[in-house]
Chain A
Amino acid sequence: MNDMRFVERTVGNEEVKIAARGVHVYYGDTHAIKDVNIDIADKMVTAFIGPSGCGKSTFLRCINRMNDTIPIARIEGDIMIDGEDIYDRRVDPVQLRAKVGMVFQKPNPFPKSIYDNVAYGPKIHGLARNKAELDEIVETSLRRAALWDEVKDRLQAPGTGLSGGQQQRLCIARAVATSPEVLLMDEPCSALDPIATDQVENLIHELRERYSVVIVTHSMSQASRVSQRTAYFHLGEMVEYGETGDIFTNPRDQRTENYITGRIG
């Protein structure tokens, strides 16, 4: 763990952005999330770690109600964003998702041009008043996702023609372009080389100034580099949650310690 450079951790006078209380998720008969309670702070990066299949993606998808699109998924419990229950019947999931952006585990660019991929959200939500503004949004989003230099000469080429890592960054740019308040990132760097990973991590630092970011990662070093808080999931339960530094240096739960020291997962 010596090589990990811990980022400075601002603690104190923080606001809770997302609060989950007694959340259970079922896929048919599979009980995928078991009684998760968590407070995710605003203007902070929270990392979800845990072995494969433990429910990190599932829980992440609860936060922007993407599980609504899976017919067999059933959610119990409450999730509040800014104190408002997002599973309340009056809440429009479409509005919610505009506010809570998401980068998926597998890159899923639309079969459209690179430009149109990024401009998709802003166009739908009417974020640009004219073409020049839209161009501006597309360019800054692509720059923030560290993709601009590679694609600036072929913005009209299909997004599906990019390499896997480039597609992932395109999806990040697409999510950033709608300026969400919360950004959920499901293993955003799993297909990226160290340089692009570094750029995305810089982006996460930058986003943190304005948004709250939740990132799922399998890289312990990445979690310690980018996050202030870390939650460890195990077989659908959230076993431990706290300061990233504490979790990594001083885990309270045996399961967390085993995972971090590489004995499982």
Chain B
Amino acid sequence: MSPLWLLVSIAVLALIGAVIGRRKAMASAGGDARELHSLPNYYGANVALLVTAPALLVLAAWMILQPMLIEGRVASIVPDAAYQDAGALNLLMADVRRVAGGLDLAVAQGALTAQEAHDAEATDLRARLAEIGVAVGSEVDTVILEAAQRYRVLDSRADLARTVVILILALAGFIFTVSRIDRTYRARNSVELAVLVLLIGASTIAILTTFGIVMSMLFETMNFFRQYPASEFFFSTTWDPSFSGRGGASELGILPLLWGTLYISLIALLVSVPIGLFAAIYLSEYADKRFRGFAKPLLEVLAGIPTIVYGLFALITVGPLLRDAIASPLGLGNSASSVMTAGLVMGIMLIPFVSSLSDDIINAVPQAMRDGSYGLGATQSETIRQVIVPAALPGIVGAILLAASRAIGETMIVVLGAGAAARIDVNPFEAMTTVTVKIVSQLTGDTDFSSPETLVAFALGLTLFVITLGLNVLALYIVRRYREQYE
């Protein structure tokens, strides 16, 4: 049975179980739901849960483990002489899988009978498989064919075992729970437990993925530092990777990139924070309902524009405009891509982010606070400056820090607006670049995942991750303290 059919059977079994469970519970209470410990639906849900949960868990584990185990077994029958190293074995095994899969497919499509597939000769197999759309890397030799046949046998046996085990498990869950149903059985509590486990599972997945991402980055970063001194990476002021073939040693200092990142983010924040904050104050304190109902969604549309579109705006409009209007006349440079361009456009991108978060926070300040201030004869702007903004300040700071992490992680606007030249300069009309841009450029094109020029991307990524993580933690900490403010 294919996994899909297995899932369907489990679902059907669960459904039947739910109905029977509910019935049995009602019957045990003599048809009076008030006699039951829990609502009748809980008994049904309880059966359905015990039918599905263990079966699905085992099925998931099985699907992951089966190919791994079978490949191990098959690889062990391939004679050592057929390959030189682990890489060659990998390629060979890929062919084995493809041949095995091709044969299965041929049988499924009717191009071969099961017997023909079993007795297939190595000679013209490649061509025959190509006919049904399966490409094999090289001519199929007997070693591969033998391994593939072995693979098919093991795989079909394992599939059968899987079907049996899963169905037994689902049935066992069914029988076990249905047999326990009784007037006093606490079905509600066990459903509650299942909900708890589900929620814990969801949060664990979130945490584990973060952990996994960090670990993989850490692993590659350590590889990088084995090949390139950490002190140079963190303290060198030159970024000059030399790609293999051109010769010469690379200079992989993070400082110029970090400088570009921070400079552009700073300009972006200088643009977005005042504008976003004032817009939020206007919207939440001054604007009447009708204007607010129309302006707020409009601002949020700004947040929905993909950053690449902002990048184009920077490249085509803002960059040349700044160069022709300010940089060239003042003799500050002739480059259309500049820190200023990227910073301004990124700032525009962040305005709705800041304003929408701040607006929510300002709205959360209780009306009683405003009343208190107005009642003492304060004007609207005095109230805003002296009561509302201070009360909302921690939340606003949190919003700004979140905006900062977005600015730091932004890539597209920088590529198109600020260029790709790593440089430390105070002139905002010079082209500079950021960490994220360099991560992309180090990983695109022909890459060899063992050279420091490529691995440096992971070190850059990890550094960036640590910086934004720090900012986010700070933001969360501040936002949390803010919650206690008007208790």
Q: Please indicate the chain B residues that have their CB under 8 angstroms from the CB of A104 in the complex.
A: 368, 371-372, 375
Q: Please indicate the chain B residues that have their CB under 8 angstroms from the CB of A131 in the complex.
A: none
Chain A residue nearest to B382 in the complex (CB):
A124
Contact present for B390 and A111 (CB under 8 Å): yes
Q: Once the chains are docked, how many angstroms separate the CA of A96 from the CA of B373?
A: 13
Contact present for A174 and B376 (CB under 8 Å): yes
Q: Please indicate the chain B residues that have their CB under 8 angstroms from the CB of A110 in the complex.
A: 369, 372-373, 387, 390-391
Contact present for A171 and B372 (CB under 8 Å): yes
- Asked if A225 lies at the interface with its beta carbon under 8 angstroms from chain B, I say no
- Asked if A97 lies at the interface with its beta carbon under 8 angstroms from chain B, I say yes
Q: Which of A63-71, A78-86, A143-151, A198-206 contacts B (4 or more CB under 8 A)?
A: A63-71
Q: Once the chains are docked, how many angstroms separate the CA of A69 from the CA of B376?
A: 13
- Asked if B227 lies at the interface with its beta carbon under 8 angstroms from chain A, I say no
**Shortest distance between the CB of A144 and any CB in chain B (Å):** 16
Q: Please indicate the chain A residues that have their CB under 8 angstroms from the CB of B373 in the complex.
A: 110, 120
Interface string of B116-141 (1 = CB under 8 A from A): 00000000000000000000000000
Q: Please indicate the chain B residues that have their CB under 8 angstroms from the CB of A160 in the complex.
A: 485-487
Interface range, B side: 20 to 34
Q: Please indicate the chain B residues that have their CB under 8 angstroms from the CB of A106 in the complex.
A: 368
- Asked if B246 lies at the interface with its beta carbon under 8 angstroms from chain A, I say no
Chain B CB count within 10 A is highest, among A66, A71, A112, A120, for: A120
- Known contacts A104-B368, A111-B486; A124 and B378 CB within 8 A of each other: yes
**Shortest distance between the CB of B28 and any CB in chain A (Å):** 50
Q: Please indicate the chain A residues that have their CB under 8 angstroms from the CB of B371 in the complex.
A: 66, 69, 104, 108
**Shortest distance between the CB of A29 and any CB in chain B (Å):** 18
Interface string of B350-367 (1 = CB under 8 A from A): 000000000000000011
Contact present for B376 and A178 (CB under 8 Å): yes
CB within 8 A of B377: which of A71, A171, A178?
A178
**Shortest distance between the CB of A92 and any CB in chain B (Å):** 9
Q: Please indicate the chain B residues that have their CB under 8 angstroms from the CB of A7 in the complex.
A: none
Contact present for B376 and A112 (CB under 8 Å): no
Contact present for B376 and A109 (CB under 8 Å): no
Q: Once the chains are docked, how many angstroms separate the CA of A146 from the CA of B374?
A: 24
Interface string of A130-167 (1 = CB under 8 A from B): 00000000000000000000000000000010000000
Per DSSP, chain A at the interface is helix
Chain B residue nearest to A103 in the complex (CB):
B375
CB within 8 A of B375: which of A64, A71, A112, A125?
A64
CB within 8 A of A108: which of B368, B379, B382?
B368
Contact present for B368 and A111 (CB under 8 Å): no
Q: Once the chains are docked, how many angstroms separate the CA of A257 from the CA of B21?
A: 64
Interface string of B296-324 (1 = CB under 8 A from A): 00000000000000000000000000000
Report B430-476 residues with CB < 8 Å from chain A CB: none
Contact present for A69 and B374 (CB under 8 Å): yes
**Shortest distance between the CB of B16 and any CB in chain A (Å):** 55
**Shortest distance between the CB of A53 and any CB in chain B (Å):** 19
- Asked if A10 lies at the interface with its beta carbon under 8 angstroms from chain B, I say no
Report B366-404 residues with CB < 8 Å from chain A CB: 366-379, 382, 386-387, 390-391
- Known contacts A66-B374, A98-B376; A108 and B487 CB within 8 A of each other: no
- Asked if B289 lies at the interface with its beta carbon under 8 angstroms from chain A, I say yes
Q: Please indicate the chain B residues that have their CB under 8 angstroms from the CB of A98 in the complex.
A: 376-377
Q: Please indicate the chain B residues that have their CB under 8 angstroms from the CB of A178 in the complex.
A: 376-377
Q: Please indicate the chain A residues that have their CB under 8 angstroms from the CB of B366 in the complex.
A: 108
Q: Once the chains are docked, how many angstroms separate the CA of A178 from the CA of B377?
A: 9
Q: Once the chains are docked, how many angstroms separate the CA of A101 from the CA of B375?
A: 6
Contact present for B369 and A124 (CB under 8 Å): no
- Asked if A121 lies at the interface with its beta carbon under 8 angstroms from chain B, I say yes
- Asked if A102 lies at the interface with its beta carbon under 8 angstroms from chain B, I say yes
Contact present for B486 and A94 (CB under 8 Å): no
Q: Once the chains are docked, how many angstroms separate the CA of A171 from the CA of B386?
A: 17
Contact present for A175 and B369 (CB under 8 Å): no
- Asked if A2 lies at the interface with its beta carbon under 8 angstroms from chain B, I say no
**Shortest distance between the CB of B386 and any CB in chain A (Å):** 7
Q: Please indicate the chain B residues that have their CB under 8 angstroms from the CB of A102 in the complex.
A: 375
Q: Once the chains are docked, how many angstroms separate the CA of A222 from the CA of B159?
A: 85
Q: Please indicate the chain B residues that have their CB under 8 angstroms from the CB of A174 in the complex.
A: 372, 376
Contact present for B372 and A109 (CB under 8 Å): yes
Q: Please indicate the chain B residues that have their CB under 8 angstroms from the CB of A99 in the complex.
A: 377
Chain B residue nearest to A92 in the complex (CB):
B379
**Shortest distance between the CB of A246 and any CB in chain B (Å):** 32
Chain B residue nearest to A171 in the complex (CB):
B372
**Shortest distance between the CB of A182 and any CB in chain B (Å):** 12
Q: Please indicate the chain A residues that have their CB under 8 angstroms from the CB of B367 in the complex.
A: 69
Chain A residue nearest to B288 in the complex (CB):
A71
Q: Please indicate the chain B residues that have their CB under 8 angstroms from the CB of A175 in the complex.
A: 375-376
Q: Please indicate the chain B residues that have their CB under 8 angstroms from the CB of A97 in the complex.
A: 374-377
Chain A residue nearest to B289 in the complex (CB):
A71
- Asked if A250 lies at the interface with its beta carbon under 8 angstroms from chain B, I say no
Q: Please indicate the chain A residues that have their CB under 8 angstroms from the CB of B487 in the complex.
A: 160
Q: Once the chains are docked, how many angstroms separate the CA of A171 from the CA of B372?
A: 8
Chain A residue nearest to B370 in the complex (CB):
A69
Q: Please indicate the chain B residues that have their CB under 8 angstroms from the CB of A30 in the complex.
A: none
Interface string of A8-20 (1 = CB under 8 A from B): 0000000000000
**Shortest distance between the CB of A172 and any CB in chain B (Å):** 12
Contact present for B369 and A108 (CB under 8 Å): yes
- Known contacts A111-B391, A111-B486, A112-B390; A124 and B376 CB within 8 A of each other: yes
- Asked if A254 lies at the interface with its beta carbon under 8 angstroms from chain B, I say no
Contact present for A94 and B390 (CB under 8 Å): no
Report A107-126 residues with CB < 8 Å from chain B CB: 108-112, 120-121, 124-125
Contact present for A121 and B376 (CB under 8 Å): yes
Chain A residue nearest to B372 in the complex (CB):
A108
Q: Once the chains are docked, how many angstroms separate the CA of A173 from the CA of B381?
A: 23
Q: Please indicate the chain B residues that have their CB under 8 angstroms from the CB of A171 in the complex.
A: 372
**Shortest distance between the CB of A135 and any CB in chain B (Å):** 19
Q: Please indicate the chain A residues that have their CB under 8 angstroms from the CB of B379 in the complex.
A: 94
Contact present for A101 and B372 (CB under 8 Å): no
Q: Please indicate the chain B residues that have their CB under 8 angstroms from the CB of A95 in the complex.
A: 377
Q: Once the chains are docked, how many angstroms separate the CA of A140 from the CA of B371?
A: 24
Chain B residue nearest to A174 in the complex (CB):
B376
Q: Once the chains are docked, how many angstroms separate the CA of A112 from the CA of B386?
A: 10
Q: Please indicate the chain A residues that have their CB under 8 angstroms from the CB of B386 in the complex.
A: 120, 124
Which residues in B have some Cβ–Cβ distance to A below 8 Å?
A: 289, 366-379, 382, 386-387, 390-391, 485-487
Query: What are the 8 closest A-B residue pairs judged by CB atoms, nearest first?
Result: A98-B377, A108-B368, A102-B375, A97-B377, A121-B376, A108-B372, A111-B485, A111-B391
Ordered by A's residue number, 8 sampled pairs between the chains whose C-beta atoms are within 8 Å are A71-B289, A94-B377, A94-B379, A108-B366, A110-B387, A120-B386, A124-B382, A125-B377
Q: A111-B486, A175-B375 are in contact. List 11 more A-B contacts (CB 8 A).
A: A94-B379, A96-B377, A97-B374, A108-B371, A110-B390, A112-B390, A120-B376, A124-B378, A124-B382, A160-B486, A178-B376
